[in-house]
């Protein structure tokens, strides 16, 4: 079977458990990107299987059905001011999907496309320009077992870059409640991202995360009351892989409530 750029495929060696799109071909090696999972991979032609049945591609609506926003912003005599989100992403496709998710939730969000290695150099100017309540720092990452210990930042594709960006954000605002930082991607070094100052980070069990996981947490934080501690476990349960993929610290929300409407 012949494959071309744009085809949806799965990998036989991984029991066809994940759907990818072919984004490049180098000789007989195919460059793949997860359709729903923030993951780059490569594969020889003989390991690929074309995804002919669209039903095998995970539908976002099915996944997001259980992600309830828990609040009706048009109720009673009060008015609501959700927290503002600045979302910096290393992947254009995933960024676009996250921005659509924020729009559906009626939340103000600004999306910035920037390579993971450059985020730390731009983050302060972006924070000063947009003054968000919540910042998302994401893109792609991976843990390479062959490179060394799981605790070593050098063993990861972009965890060190995320750590640098988080530290720059914390130089701008030290308080975990005045600026909510959500950082990481697939298999990121969770412990180091939290130590650097993230409120939420991936990935406690070094698993892959869904493309929308950072946006789901950001949305939940945007719509959580600024006077109350969040339901940390409840928020994490709304992500694709729960506490295996994302973790965080208890803090207050970012939404202000006013009266009258």
Predicted pLDDT of residue 170: 98
Predicted pLDDT of residue 56: 57
Contact status, residue 86 vs residue 110, Cβ threshold 8 Å: yes
CA gap 241, 100 in Å, rounded: 21
Mean pLDDT of 141-151: 91
Predicted pLDDT of residue 16: 85
Predicted pLDDT of residue 76: 77
Mean pLDDT of 119-140: 98
Of the candidates 97, 101, 102, 129, the one whose C-alpha atom is nearest the C-alpha of residue 113 is 97
Residue boundaries of the structural domains of the chain: 8-51, 60-258
The residue assigned the tokens 């409407």 is 261
- Of residues 214 and 42, more confidence is placed in 214
Q: Note the helical H segments in the chain.
A: 60-64, 92-104, 119-130, 159-172, 190-196, 213-222, 232-237
The tens digit of pLDDT for each residue in 195-206 reads: 999 999 999 999
Query: Which range, of 62-76, 141-155, 177-191, 222-236, averages the lowest pLDDT?
Result: 62-76
Cβ neighbours for 183, distance < 8 A, ≥ 6 positions apart: 136, 137, 138, 162, 165, 166, 193, 196, 198, 200, 201, 202
Cα distances (Å, whole numbers) of residue 98 to 16, 27, 91: 26, 33, 11
Mean pLDDT of 140-161: 93
The tens digit of pLDDT for each residue in 11-34 reads: 999 888 889 999 999 888 999 999
Fold of 60-258: Rossmann fold (3.40.50)
Query: Which range, of 18-22, 82-86, 91-95, 181-185, averages the lowest pLDDT?
Result: 18-22
Backbone φ, ψ for residue 21 (5° rounding): -110, 135
pLDDT(62) > 90: no
Predicted pLDDT of residue 27: 82
Mean pLDDT of 119-127: 98
Contact status, residue 27 vs residue 45, Cβ threshold 8 Å: no
Backbone φ, ψ for residue 75 (5° rounding): -90, 160
């Amino acid at each position: 079977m012949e494959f071309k750029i744009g085809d949806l495929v799965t990998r036989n060696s991984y029991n066809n458990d994940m759907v990818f799109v072919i984004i490049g071909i180098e000789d007989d090696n195919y460059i793949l990107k997860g359709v729903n999972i923030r993951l780059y991979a490569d594969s020889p032609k003989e390991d690929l299987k074309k995804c002919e049945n669209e039903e095998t591609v995970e539908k976002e609506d099915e996944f997001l059905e259980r992600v309830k926003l828990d609040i009706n912003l048009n109720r009673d005599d009060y008015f609501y001011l959700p927290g503002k989100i600045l979302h910096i992403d290393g992947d254009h496709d995933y960024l676009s999907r996250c921005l659509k998710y924020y729009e559906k939730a009626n939340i103000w969000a600004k999306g910035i496309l920037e390579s993971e290695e450059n985020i730390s150099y731009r983050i302060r100017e972006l924070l000063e320009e947009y003054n968000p309540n919540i910042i998302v720092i994401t893109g792609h990452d991976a843990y390479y077992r062959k490179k060394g210990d799981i605790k070593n930042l050098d063993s990861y594709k972009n965890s060190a870059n995320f750590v640098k960006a988080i530290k720059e954000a914390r130089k701008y605002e030290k308080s975990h409640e005045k600026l909510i930082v959500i950082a990481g991607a697939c298999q990121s070094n969770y412990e180091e991202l939290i130590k650097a100052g993230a409120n939420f980070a991936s990935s406690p069990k070094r698993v892959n995360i869904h493309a929308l996981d950072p946006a789901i947490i950001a949305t939940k934080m945007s719509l959580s009351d600024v006077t109350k501690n969040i339901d940390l476990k409840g928020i994490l349960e709304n992500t694709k892989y729960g506490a295996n993929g994302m973790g965080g610290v208890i803090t207050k929300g970012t939404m202000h409530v006013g009266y009258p409407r």
